[in-house]
Copies of this chain bind each other. A is one copy, B any other.
Amino acid sequence: MLQSHYSSELLEKAVNEINRLPGIGSKTALRLALHLLRQDEERVEALAESLVEMRKGVHYCKVCYNICDEEKCEICSNPTRDSSLVCVVENVQDVMAIENTMQYRGLYHVLGGVISPMDGIGPSDLQIESLVERVKKGGVEEVILALSPTMEGDTTNYFIYRKLEETGVKVTVIARGIAQNDELQYTDEVTLGRALAGRIPFGK
> Residues of A with Cβ closer than 8 Å to B?
2-3, 5-11, 13-14, 16-18, 20-24, 28, 30-37, 39, 41, 43-58, 61, 66-69, 73-75, 91-93, 95-97, 99-100
Check if B7 sits within 8 Å of A68, measured CB to CB. yes
Q: How far is the CA of A73 from the CA of B7 in the complex (A)?
A: 7
Checking B8, B51, B52, B56 against A67 with a beta-carbon cut-off of 8 angstroms, the contacting residue is B8
Q: How far is the CA of A45 from the CA of B50 in the complex (A)?
A: 11
Checking B2, B13, B61 against A50 with a beta-carbon cut-off of 8 angstroms, the contacting residue is B13
Checking B6, B52, B57 against A45 with a beta-carbon cut-off of 8 angstroms, the contacting residue is B52
Residue of B nearest to A16 (CB): B50
Q: Known contacts A34-B92, A45-B52, A47-B17; is A58 also within 8 Å of B22 by CB?
A: no
Which residues from B are CB-within-8-Å of A32?
A: 21-24
